[in-house]
Amino acid sequence: MIKPHGSDELNPLYIYDQKQHAELMVEAEGLPSILISSAAAGNAVMLGGGYFNPLTGYMNVADAMSVAEKMHTTSGLFWPTPVVNLVADVSAIQGAKRIALRDPNVEGNPVLAIQDVEAIEEFTDAQLNTISEKVYGTTDKEHVGVSEFTSAGKYVISGPIQVLNFSYFTVEFPDTFRTAVEIRNEIKEHGWNTVVAFQTRNPMHRAHEELCKMARDAVNADGVLIHMLLGKLKPGDIPAPVRDASIRKMVELYFPPNTVMVTGYGFDMLYAGPREAVLHAVFRQNTGCTHFIIGRDHAGVGDYYGAFEAQEIFDTHVPKDALEIEIFRADHTAYSKKLNKVVMMRDVPDHTKEDFILLSGTKVREMLSEGKAPPPEFSRPEVAKILMEYYQSKA
């Protein structure tokens, strides 16, 4: 198992000591409080679980700009995306040195974390544009990630945090949500040394399944971490419980026992393409994985990124010694009618488009909505059944 990013040991910011936790919960009720954004809440959950090791809290303007422009903090730590607590109104906490952060995603807005306020600064419009351009590759407000980022507010509350709960993730996904600490411990319990991580925000079809198996075999891995995003997605994406059920069914039926961990993490999707791919690599290193699969248009949306930009950024912008995790570069995978198996397209230069079973996402959704299963070469029938039930329930 490899070391965490930026430190020898993982330093999660969740307060595990019960006595200290109880004291902080009491203290929080007497502190000035602020309702934070869903994005900031996701950052707190990731900091709490050790995924964002070695960060100790939210970045200030100088660090956020340095990360956006140079991919490292002002102290020199390699980091790909700003981790900020952005709000629109700070009147409730003016002058406070210690504040309670309230969760926007749970009824009653319970305290999610306590933050020591080192500074309250304000982004200029130019700085917001720079971050959008550098991190998301565009300032287009039609980009869902840019829209979320630029609408959160301009005030930047920086400083270390102590995390007191993991929002709705432990309640809604008790069998799936895991911290980086828990994943590291489970990898140790399995006795795995080489572990391949697979990121997903979608159900997994045959191509994804086979990609995990190809990567596992290529690096001679002991196991695979299927690690799904459990936070907020864009409209039209399939809800986490449906994805979770379909992925678990696929693993149960089509992978050897005890070779796959199905887990999830609490974070809202950024849709930041290449930059988010690097962030994904950082926090998979923090889980102890040695390899991470990056395919076509990883973490992309619309036509904002080139097909392989998320792989190329590791050559152009990630210093050789910045990360210990290794990237497994995948091409588009599809079922070959010639070879009767799923292949990477780059590995079969003799194939034409007609030699593959290719279905667009729109076509697949259409079929599932009509109660028609995609061909078994595209989607496992047991997985298709779960997805059909979901789509038909919406009809």
Average pLDDT in the 102-119 region?
98
Catalytic member of 193, 202, 248, 329 = 202
> Is residue 284 among the annotated active site residues?
no
Instruction: Report residue 305's pLDDT band, with 50, 70 and 90 as the boundaries.
Output: very high
- Find the farthest-apart pair of alpha carbons in the chain and give their distance in angstroms, rounded: 69
User: Where along the chain do the CATH 3.10.400.10 domains lie?
Assistant: 18-170
Closest of 237, 248, 240 to residue 365, by C-alpha:
237
Instruction: Give the pLDDT of residue 395.
Output: 66
Nearest 5°: the CA angle 12, 15, 18 is 145
Indicate the range of 274-278, 279-283, 364-368 predicted with least confidence.
364-368
Catalytic member of 98, 109, 129, 201 = 201
Residue range 219-268, pLDDT digits in tens: 999 999 999 999 987 777 888 889 999 999 999 999 999 999 999 999 99
Indicate the range of 70-79, 315-324, 368-377 predicted with least confidence.
368-377
Nearest 5°: the CA angle 329, 269, 125 is 110
Give the domain 18-170 fold.
Sulfate adenylyltransferase (3.10.400)
Closest of 51, 50, 61, 46 to residue 126, by C-alpha:
61
> Is residue 202 among the annotated active site residues?
yes
Residue range 184-199, pLDDT digits in tens: 999 999 999 999 999 9
57-58 and 86-87 beta bridge pairing: unpaired
Percent of the chain residues topping a pLDDT of 70: 100
User: Where along the chain do the CATH 3.40.50.620 domains lie?
Assistant: 175-394
CA 260 to centroid of chain Cα atoms: 18
Instruction: Let me know: does 47 contact 83? Beta carbons within 8 Å.
Output: yes
| The length of the chain, given as a count of residues | 395
Average pLDDT in the 318-337 region?
95
Statement: the pTM of the whole predicted model exceeds 0.85:
yes
Name the CATH superfamily housing domain 175-394.
HUPs (3.40.50.620)
User: 3-state DSSP call for residue 45?
Assistant: helix
